[in-house]
């Protein structure tokens, strides 16, 4: 029974008809890429990931990682798969060609990352952090450090982590204690970091930790944090490796799921580090990496949702039990109305999420490469607006999808050999990664809505309005179009109430933030279903109609929660 869905046909359809890769190619930033090459890349990725990566998932879960003589040992098959991953050039898809990468649009990378998350989330995480580290070094790194490290990361020869969390600090990074002492043009770092994904593995000889620390004498709080590159192994200017660098794994966390990912506690003792960017501006530089990893979280969530849905659908069509309504039996349980309902929920949340996260990826490309400065600024605002939605709403949706998959399997879903329960154990952490989902809600309301007095909101509404107009005369889309209009009305009322709340009502605003994110999240999926219904097949329109029927009532529910939090 299938446990992985590459969804290559849907990806290619979305790229051509819904998200429109052509808009990115029209910027002229990717003259070596066309639609045919893009389709071939997506298809090849689906084949490779399905054949090489997806089979790792069971060993990742059942055997997991281990710590032997201070080094992390990856699950069986990982080394061989990682070598093939490197050989195929997959680690450097978006890296500049001048650094050995393939320099394709981030939109295509998003397709590949989604598949990878659906095949084996633990392996996907090994791939994600080095790409994000490349982005940080390209944006903020000193030229010598950048020129040394980016080619190694793009080739997959070296790995990377984001090393931020400390035991006493958690989300409050202003409480970080890791210190950095100047040693000529370098620094010696000491402290402890926890929850460091793939803080050590046997896949690469070098791992670069992008680490926040406080230089002696720096201001307290977040204004005193600087960003450093701290290698696991000391290195020379030409990349030659020497002795271990004072970074060691103190412990591997034993987790609910995601057993193939080495979640490490790191001890840092006088480890040599290199400053990235300016002193005391480390958090701003680190956000380059965090933003990319937040969208990676959404991509992985959609990937796991797709695999959980395919797995449940296959079982529901094979499993015969009970009788058809008004008919005979035993019948496939997929024909039972409540099972059909659950399968429909899984489908609309996953396929809607796939379109949304690709739309966000496209906006990231346009924010970097659109010819007109105003177009770049607009794309940046809208992609930033969607980022907490793609991270938080889509990870929440994936948890719901995985949970429904267990329900469809019935008692067998609670048994490990079914494979259904692993999806839920693995995906659950995505609501915690890169800023827990409540933090994403606060970011949406306090930074994306109130700080710019609704400018990003207006961009969001304007984008939806374009698609409402485009679908005005399309037959068969009335239900989803009406649902979108209802969602926009609820969004307008909730947004205006939050914008009107003064600084003395901050506690009330924060209390309503999660409901506001849920409202925007549902409306964002309705928007994508409107666009897909307008461009799509009869099946897409049926799914869009189901989404409208099932979720339209939630708009007013979430609106009322926002207003009640504000005492209105």
In order of start, what are the domains of the chain with their CATH numbers?
8-155 (1.10.540.10), 160-281 (2.40.110.20), 436-568 (1.20.120)
Tell me the three state secondary structure of residue 30.
coil
Dihedral over alpha carbons 207, 212, 216, 220 (to 10 degrees): -170
Q: DSSP of 59-127, one letter per residue? A: HHHHT--EEETTEEEPPTTHHHHHHHHHHTTGGGSSS-GGGT-----HHHHHHHHHHHHHH-HHHHHHH
- In angstroms, rounded to a whole number, what is the distance separating the alpha carbons of residues 65 and 77? 12
Q: Report which DSSP code applies to 444.
A: I
Binned at pLDDT 50, 70 and 90, residue 317 comes out as: very high
Q: What is the pLDDT of residue 1?
A: 57
Residue 475, Cβ neighbours under 10 Å: how many?
A: 6
- pLDDT > 90 fraction of the chain, expressed in percent and rounded: 92
Q: Given the DSSP bridges, would you call strands 206-215 and 225-231 parallel, antiparallel or unpaired?
A: antiparallel
Q: What is the pLDDT of residue 353?
A: 98
Q: Given the DSSP bridges, would you call strands 225-231 and 263-276 parallel, antiparallel or unpaired?
A: antiparallel
Q: What is the pLDDT of residue 194?
A: 95
Task: Give the pLDDT mean for 349-366.
Answer: 98
Q: Which residues pair with 72 in a beta bridge?
A: 67
Locate 103 and state its tokens.
Answer: 């320099």
Burial of 140 (0-12, 13-18, 19+ CB in 10 A): buried
Spell out the residues 6+ positions from residue 448 whose beta carbon is closer than 8 angstroms to its own.
384, 385, 388, 456, 457
Peptide bond into 196 cis (omega under 30): no
Spell out the residues 6+ positions from residue 537 whose beta carbon is closer than 8 angstroms to its own.
none
Q: 């095949």: which residue's tokens?
A: 119
Residue 447: C-alpha distances to residues 187, 232, 566 (Å) = 33, 36, 18
Binned at pLDDT 50, 70 and 90, residue 12 comes out as: very high
Binned at pLDDT 50, 70 and 90, residue 287 comes out as: confident
Q: What is the pLDDT of residues 408-438, one digit of tens each?
A: 999 999 999 999 999 999 999 999 998 999 9
Q: Report which DSSP code applies to 536.
A: S
- In angstroms, rounded to a whole number, what is the distance separating the alpha carbons of residues 301 and 299? 5
- In angstroms, rounded to a whole number, what is the distance separating the alpha carbons of residues 344 and 354? 15
Residue 503: C-alpha distances to residues 454, 498, 524 (Å) = 16, 11, 28
Which residues are annotated as catalytic?
A: 434
- In angstroms, rounded to a whole number, what is the distance separating the alpha carbons of residues 556 and 348? 20
Q: What is the pLDDT of residue 324?
A: 83
- In angstroms, rounded to a whole number, what is the distance separating the alpha carbons of residues 170 and 176? 9
Sign of the CA dihedral with 244 first, then 247, 251, and 257 last: negative
Task: Give the pLDDT mean for 367-389.
Answer: 97
Quote the mean pLDDT of the chain: 95
- In angstroms, rounded to a whole number, what is the distance separating the alpha carbons of residues 525 and 533? 12
Quick check: 351 and 411 in contact, CB under 8 A? no
Quick check: 19 and 111 in contact, CB under 8 A? no
- pLDDT > 70 fraction of the chain, expressed in percent and rounded: 100
Sign of the CA dihedral with 424 first, then 430, 436, and 438 last: negative
Q: What kind and span of H or E run contains 522?
A: helix 513-535
Q: What is the Cα 329 distance to its own chain's centre? A: 43
Peptide bond into 330 cis (omega under 30): yes
The angle formed by the CA atoms of residues 108, 518 and 467, to the nearest 5 degrees, is 55
- In angstroms, rounded to a whole number, what is the distance separating the alpha carbons of residues 525 and 531? 10
Task: Give the pLDDT mean for 94-119.
Answer: 97
Spell out the residues 6+ positions from residue 451 whose beta carbon is closer than 8 angstroms to its own.
none
Q: DSSP of 262-276, one letter per residue? A: -EEEEEEEEEEEEEE
Quick check: 394 and 356 in contact, CB under 8 A? yes
Quick check: 192 and 266 in contact, CB under 8 A? yes
- In angstroms, rounded to a whole number, what is the distance separating the alpha carbons of residues 485 and 523? 9
Backbone angles phi, psi at 243, to 5 degrees: -85, 165
Quick check: 7 and 354 in contact, CB under 8 A? yes
Tell me the three state secondary structure of residue 508.
helix
Q: What is the pLDDT of residues 56-79, one digit of tens each?
A: 999 999 999 999 988 999 999 999
Which of 25, 28, 13, 45 shows the shortest CA–CA distance to 110?
45
Spell out the residues 6+ positions from residue 542 whose beta carbon is closer than 8 angstroms to its own.
none
- In angstroms, rounded to a whole number, what is the distance separating the alpha carbons of residues 419 and 82? 23
Q: Where are the beta strands (DSSP E) in 198-240?
A: 206-215, 225-231, 233-235
- In angstroms, rounded to a whole number, what is the distance separating the alpha carbons of residues 563 and 568? 5
Binned at pLDDT 50, 70 and 90, residue 97 comes out as: very high
pLDDT of 484 above 60: yes
Q: What is the Cα 357 distance to its own chain's centre? A: 8
Quick check: 19 and 358 in contact, CB under 8 A? yes
Q: What is the pLDDT of residue 269?
A: 97
Q: What is the pLDDT of residues 536-552, one digit of tens each?
A: 889 999 999 999 999 99
């Amino acid at each position: 029974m299938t446990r992985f869905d590459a969804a290559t046909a849907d990806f290619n359809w979305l790229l051509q008809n819904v998200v429109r890769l052509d808009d990115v190619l029209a910027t002229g930033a990717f003259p070596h890429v066309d639609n045919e090459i893009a389709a071939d890349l997506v298809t090849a990725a689906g084949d490779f990931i399905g054949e090489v990566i997806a089979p790792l998932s069971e060993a990742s879960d059942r055997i997991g990682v281990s710590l032997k003589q201070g080094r992390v040992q990856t699950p069986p098959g990982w080394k061989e798969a990682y070598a093939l991953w490197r050989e195929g050039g997959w680690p450097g898809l978006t890296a500049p060609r001048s650094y050995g990468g393939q320099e394709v649009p981030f939109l295509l990378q998003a397709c590949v990352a989604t598949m990878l998350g659906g095949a084996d989330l633990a392996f996907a995480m090994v791939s994600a952090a080095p790409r994000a580290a490349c982005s940080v070094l390209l944006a903020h790194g000193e030229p010598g450090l950048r020129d040394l490290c980016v080619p190694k990361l793009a080739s997959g020869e070296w790995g990377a982590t984001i090393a931020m969390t400390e035991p006493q600090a958690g989300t409050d990074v202003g409480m970080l204690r890791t210190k950095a002492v100047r040693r000529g043009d370098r620094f010696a770092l000491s402290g402890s970091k926890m929850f460091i994904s793939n803080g050590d593995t046997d896949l690469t000889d070098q791992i670069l930790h992008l680490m926040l620390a406080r230089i002696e004498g720096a201001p307290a709080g977040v204004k005193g944090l600087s960003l450093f590159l701290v290698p696991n192994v000391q290195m020379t200017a030409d990349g030659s490796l020497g002795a271990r660098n004072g970074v060691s794994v103190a412990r591997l966390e034993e987790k609910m799921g995601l057993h193939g990912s080495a979640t490490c506690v790191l001890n840092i003792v006088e480890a040599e580090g290199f400053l990235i960017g300016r002193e005391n501006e480390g958090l701003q530089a680190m956000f380059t990496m965090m933003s990319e990893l937040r969208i990676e979280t959404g991509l992985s969530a959609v990937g796991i949702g797709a695999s959980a849905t395919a797995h449940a659908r296959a079982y529901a069509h094979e499993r015969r039990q009970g009788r058809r309504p008004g008919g005979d039996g035993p019948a496939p349980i997929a024909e039972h109305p409540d099972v059909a309902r659950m399968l429909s929920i899984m489908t609309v949340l996953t396929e809607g999420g796939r379109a949304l996260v690709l739309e966000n990826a496209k906006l990231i490309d346009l924010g970097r490469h659109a010819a007109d400065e105003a177009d770049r600024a607009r794309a940046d605002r809208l992609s930033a607006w969607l980022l907490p939605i793609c991270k938080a709403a889509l990870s929440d949706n994936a948890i719901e999808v995985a949970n429904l998959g267990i329900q469809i399997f019935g008692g067998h879903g609670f048994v490990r050999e079914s494979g259904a329960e692993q999806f839920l154990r693995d995906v659950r952490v995505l609501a915690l990664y890169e800023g827990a989902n409540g933090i994403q809600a606060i970011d949406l309301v306090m930074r994306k809505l109130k700080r710019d007095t609704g400018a990003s909101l207006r961009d969001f509404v304007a984008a939806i309005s374009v698609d409402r107009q485009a679908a005005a005369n399309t037959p068969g889309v009335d239900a989803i179009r009406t649902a979108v209009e209802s969602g926009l009305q609820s969004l307008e009322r909730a947004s205006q109430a939050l914008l009107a709340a003064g600084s003395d009502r901050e506690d009330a605003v924060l209390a309503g933030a999660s409901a506001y994110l849920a409202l925007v999240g549902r409306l964002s999926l309705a928007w994508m279903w409107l666009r897909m219904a307008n461009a799509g097949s009869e099946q897409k329109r049926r799914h869009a109609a189901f989404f409208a029927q099932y979720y339209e009532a939630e708009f007013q529910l979430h609106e009322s929660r926002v207003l009640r939090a504000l005492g209105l």
